[in-house]
């Protein structure tokens, strides 16, 4: 039971939420056991009200810390978003069966 619901697909998004099609297409493909990782420009989506749509997806939400810092967003990241470093990025891609990049 558990193995069926954990660590399936890691969805990596790298664009801001202005690319709304990208986000809606990604959301349509989510299943329990998936996770979302925000990198590059997508880390803005982890801030303020924007994060609501992502949190509604009820999957773990990660964001790349180096990109958060680069954009001056350290204080703005929502508390439910897990900030990770590059090493954890690599570990996540190992834990999840596969990744899909949305760009």
Partner 1 sequence: MANKNLLLIFRNPPFSDSSNRDTLDIALACSAFEIPVSLLFLGDGVLQLIRGQQSKTLQQKNLLNTFNALAMYDIDQLFVLQSDLQRFELIAADLSIDCQLICETQMAKLIRQSDRIINL
Partner 2 sequence: MIFSLLIYASQNSGQAEQTALRFSRSALSQGHKIHRVFFYGETVSAISNLKITPRDEIDITRQWLELAASDNLDLVVCIAAAVRRGVLDQQECDRHNRVAANLVAGFNLSGLGQLADAILSSDRLLTFGN
Residues that bind partner 1 (CB under 8 A): 8-9, 21, 25, 28-31, 97-103
CB-facing half-sphere around the CA of 41: CA atoms within 13 A: 10
DSSP class of residue 60 equals -
Give the nearer residue to partner 1 in terms of CB position, either 13 or 47: 13
What is the residue whose two structure tokens read 């990770």?
84
Would you state the structure tokens that stand for residue 29, as one six-digit string? Answer: 């493909």
Minimum Å gap between C-beta 3 and partner 2 is 18
The yes or no reply on residue 53 touching partner 2 (CB under 8 A) is no
The yes or no reply on residue 21 touching partner 2 (CB under 8 A) is no
**Listing from the earlier edge strand, what are the strands of the sheet with 82-84?**
82-84, 61-64, 35-38, 9-13, 98-102
Minimum Å gap between C-beta 95 and partner 1 is 16
Q: Which residue among 19, 41, 50, 78 contacts partner 2 (CB under 8 A)? A: 41
3-state DSSP assignment of residue 73: coil
**Residues within the interface to partner 2 (CB under 8 A):** 12, 14, 39-41, 64, 66, 86-87, 89-91, 93-94, 98-99, 101, 103
């Amino acid at each position: 039971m558990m193995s069926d619901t954990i660590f399936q697909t890691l969805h990596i998004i790298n664009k801001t939420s202005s690319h709304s099609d990208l986000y809606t297409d990604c959301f349509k493909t989510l299943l329990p056991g998936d996770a979302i990782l925000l990198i590059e420009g997508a880390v803005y989506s982890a801030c303020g009200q924007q994060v609501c749509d992502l949190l509604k997806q009820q999957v773990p939400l990660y964001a790349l810390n180096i990109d958060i810092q680069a954009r001056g967003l350290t204080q703005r990241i929502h508390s439910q978003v897990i900030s990770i470093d590059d090493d954890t990025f690599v570990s996540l891609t190992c834990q999840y069966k596969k990744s899909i990049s949305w760009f």
